Every structure is written in structure tokens, then in C-alpha cells.
Amino acid sequence: ATLGVIFKYGRFTVSRHGDRIQMTYGLLQRTQVSIPVRRIQAVRMVEGILRQPLGFFTIQLENAGYGTQSAEKAILWPLARPKELMFILQEFLPEFNLEALLETTLQNTLHTSLERLPQIARRRYALRSFFPVFLVSLPVFIWLPWGNFAVILPFLGVLWGLWKFHDAGWILKENMMVLRCRSFARTTVIVPSGSIQSFAVGSNPFQRRADLVSFSLELASKSHFGLADIPVSGGIKLIGWLRKDKRKRLRGGYNEDF
């Protein structure tokens, strides 16, 4: 896998020419990608399980496709450290460079600056990861040789759910949202409010008993992001932020293309 990454992204270069960003990479086969800045919907920082302990992440661009071209994610920077993110965005995407936002996003203070999930959601995240793993490991435990070792898998599922709970959160700054969540890799997304195509806040009966809601948003690139089990007050705050920003843009309060 490491050799594959080296061959694919070796001799990586990125440059900006006017309103376009151009990336060129590849050791054996050179690939060139050119993206109009106005079609960049979000910036995504992805930390894989192996990269996160080493302090590295990949910077991806959510690019809205046009015409017959499908939406795609492009690599802006294949391997970066948190301290380098501010320079990269200032150099190539100043449209996303809110100084106050990046100061909290880049450093380890992001974890304490996020709007956190309430503690009541901790158990829900643990159980949500426990039951699928339990259902898969049960037949393994019963029928397969050495299946006794499968008894540990549900507990690993619980730890995974707690890890997802620990990493989840969001920040709102002016017309930008920073959202952090985890599936396998930890993903941090910077989304301008103008890039959000649809936004939904909802709850099921179990969430309503605990005064929790879930929210999800969709970009023009067809990517979906969201968090489960945020407090009702957080859902109201997110809806108010979107409505306030929409009114500002209708009045010409922002001059960006987003």
C-alpha cells in the first residue's frame, strides 16, 4: 500500500493560476488535475488509523462536477502536518482561510474548541457499534473452530463507538462550519454555508426521550456529512446559523463565490 501511494503521488506538485488549482503527480504515469476554485465545495482533512498517531493527514477537495463530469474528490496535499495547513490554505485557497477559524482548527486546541456531544450520547454511540459486531460475531463464536476468540469482538466494537463519540463535534465561525466525525478514518471538513445544498435535522423516538437530534448536510458534490445525537439546542443553533447566513448572502453581505 505504501509503495502504491509513492508511485501514485510521487513528484507531487500543486499550483494556482488565477481561479484554477492544478495538481500534477505520479512516478510512472503523470496525472494532471485542474479544478476551478468556484467549484470547490469543501476542504476535507482525512487522518487514517495509521497516519493519525504519526500526526499526518491528507487534504482533499470536494469538487462539484459539471456537465457530463461527475463530482469528485481531488487531493490538494497527499501528506501534511497540522502546522502546515494554515500555510497551504493561505497559499492556494485563501477563500477558506478564516484566521480565527484556522487558529483553533490547526492546533491541538481544536479538540477543546469543538461543540461536543453530550455525555448522554456516549452510551448510544457505544451500543450503536456493539450490536452490529455482536450479530456478526455470534455465528462465528458458535460454528467456527477457534470461535471463542470472537467473544472479544463486541467489546472492540464498544471501544470503537466510544472513539467515534470522543472525536465528534463541530464549530461555527462566520459563514464557515468545521465538522469532525469518524468512520474508520477521522475526517475534519471545512464547509462554507453557501456550499450546502440541503440540510436536515431530525430525531427518532429514542432520541426525543433524551432531547437529542441528528443533523445531516449534502453538498453539490453529492457528499454527505452529519452527526448523530447532538443536543436539541445544538440543532436550533445550526438552523439559526444557516438562516442568518442565507439572509446575509441575499443582502450581499458576502462577496465570495460560495
* pLDDT value for 124: 92
Q: What percent of the chain has pLDDT over 90?
A: 23
* pLDDT value for 55: 84
pLDDT at 20 over 50: yes
* pLDDT value for 243: 83
* pLDDT value for 13: 92
pLDDT at 191 over 70: yes
pLDDT at 258 over 80: no
Q: What are the backbone dihedrals phi and psi of residue 142, each rounded to the nearest 5 degrees, phi first?
A: -80, -45
pLDDT tens-digit map of 57-69: 899 998 876 443 4
Query: pLDDT class for 255, splitting at 50, 70, 90?
Result: very low
Query: pLDDT class for 71, splitting at 50, 70, 90?
Result: very low
pLDDT tens-digit map of 72-101: 568 899 888 888 888 888 889 888 765 545
pLDDT tens-digit map of 158-173: 999 999 999 999 888 8
pLDDT tens-digit map of 101-159: 555 444 444 555 778 899 999 999 999 988 888 888 888 777 777 767 778 888 888 99
pTM of the model: 0.81
pLDDT at 242 over 90: no
Query: pLDDT class for 194, splitting at 50, 70, 90?
Result: confident
